[in-house]
Amino acid sequence: MSKVKIVVAGPRGNMGKEAVKMVSSTDEFTLVAAVDSKHAGMMLSEIEGFQGIDIPIYTDMQQCFKENEVDVLIDLTAPAFGKKHMQTAFENGVRPVVGTTGFTEEDIIELRATAEEQGIGAIIAPNFAIGAILMMKFSQMAAKYLPDVEIIERHHDRKLDAPSGTAIKTAQLISEVREQKAQGHPNETEELAGARGANFEGMRIHSVRLPGLVAHQEVIFGGVGQTLTIRHDSIDRTSFMPGVKLAVDAVLRIDTLVYGLEHIIE
């Protein structure tokens, strides 16, 4: 069986570094190139930390796809680029596996239409960690019985988007099973703007950003005389890699856009 030919976008980033390692050490995958924000024309092996990985670096994704035969793009860049990178992949018949966050519901609808028009598989996964997927599934189960819920997500202070993609996805999954409801006292006021967090259909999302954190989330449910807390912690970015590998395998078998690994891990 021929190997899956992969390009990683964002190879010097926290996630990109791990993805380069995972792809390079997986027998059935081959890393053919990297797309970076700089270092066009260099080899990845010339950059510290990538010794022995002799693949070209491009800053122009179109050029990368023109000069290389590519099956899958793994995108781990920044919210401003995820959508554009997916469109470039579709134009070139390349299947995107995207961990980059910051997509709106409208972006997903638009990208799914393109994927289906072209019959190309694509996966956007706000979180690749299996524990985080379970946290989201368990939260959806709990929300049926305990509809008052607040989400506290905690991330490192280099994160660009708030709330996190995982918090938004969790709120979306919960809203599939609960009636929209305003939480807290009907007459409550914010003495400082933002004190009650972001409002997703009445559910509150609070974003903490601190050095020392990686990626953590608590989903807290309140009921009469009780609370339930469902918590997940990624303490290392290796936690995401089995999910990235699973997504690469899955994207080759689908011809639509799947948003969320919970649709792949049944």
Ligand X SMILES: O=C(O)C1=N[C@H](C(=O)O)C[C@H](O)C1
Question: Is there binding between residue 22 and ligand NDP (CB under 6 A)?
Answer: no
The 151-170 site mask, x for binding ligand NDP (CB under 6 A), equals: --------------x-----
Residue 155 interacts, among ligand X, ligand NDP, none and using kind-specific CB cut-offs from 5 to 8 Å, with: ligand X
**Separation CA 228–CA 222 (nearest Å):** 7
Q: 128 among the known binding-site residues?
A: yes
Tokens representing 152 are 């506290």
Shortest distance, CB of residue 141 to ligand X, whole angstroms?
A: 20
Residue number, 97 or 146, with CB nearest to ligand NDP: 97
Chosen residue from 7, 32, 215, 257 binding ligand X by CB under 6 A: 215
Q: Which stretch binds ligand NDP (CB under 6 A): 14-22, 110-118, 183-191, 202-210?
A: 14-22
Residues in binding contact with ligand X, number by CB under 6 A: 9
Cis preceding linkage at 163, omega within 30: yes
**Separation CA 69–CA 79 (nearest Å):** 26
Long-range contacts of 87-94 (CB under 8 A, 24+ apart): 87/111, 87/114, 88/61, 88/62, 89/61, 89/65, 89/122, 90/114, 90/115, 90/118, 90/120, 90/122, 91/62, 92/62, 92/65, 92/66, 93/118, 93/120, 94/7, 94/65, 94/70, 94/120
Nearest to 199 by CA among 175, 215, 182, 186: 182
Q: Which stretch binds ligand X (CB under 6 A): 20-28, 32-40, 159-167, 256-264?
A: 159-167
Shortest distance, CB of residue 156 to ligand NDP, whole angstroms?
A: 7
The CA-CA-CA angle for residues 43, 49, 53, to 5°, reads 40
Q: 14 among the known binding-site residues?
A: yes
Question: Is there binding between residue 139 and ligand X (CB under 6 A)?
Answer: no
Question: Is there binding between residue 73 and ligand NDP (CB under 6 A)?
Answer: no
Residue number, 157 or 255, with CB nearest to ligand X: 157
Question: Is there binding between residue 83 and ligand X (CB under 6 A)?
Answer: no
Residue 123 interacts, among ligand X, ligand NDP, none and using kind-specific CB cut-offs from 5 to 8 Å, with: none
The H or E element spanning position 198 is strand 198-200
3-state secondary structure of 88: helix
Q: Binders of ligand X among 91-110, rule CB under 6 A?
A: 101
Question: Count of CB atoms within 10 A of residue 46's CB?
Answer: 12
3-state secondary structure of 4: strand
Nearest to 91 by CA among 59, 66, 58: 66
Residues annotated catalytic, as ranges:
155, 159
Query: Which residue(s) pair with 221 in the sheet?
Result: 149, 228
**Residue ranges of the binding site for NAD(+):** 10-15, 99-101, 125-128
**Residue ranges of the binding site:** 10-15, 38, 99-101, 125-128, 156, 165-166
- Site residues (CB under 6 A) for ligand X? 101, 126-127, 155, 159, 164-166, 215
- Site residues (CB under 6 A) for ligand NDP? 9-10, 12-16, 35-38, 76-79, 81, 99-101, 125-128, 165, 240
**Residue ranges of the binding site for NADP(+):** 38
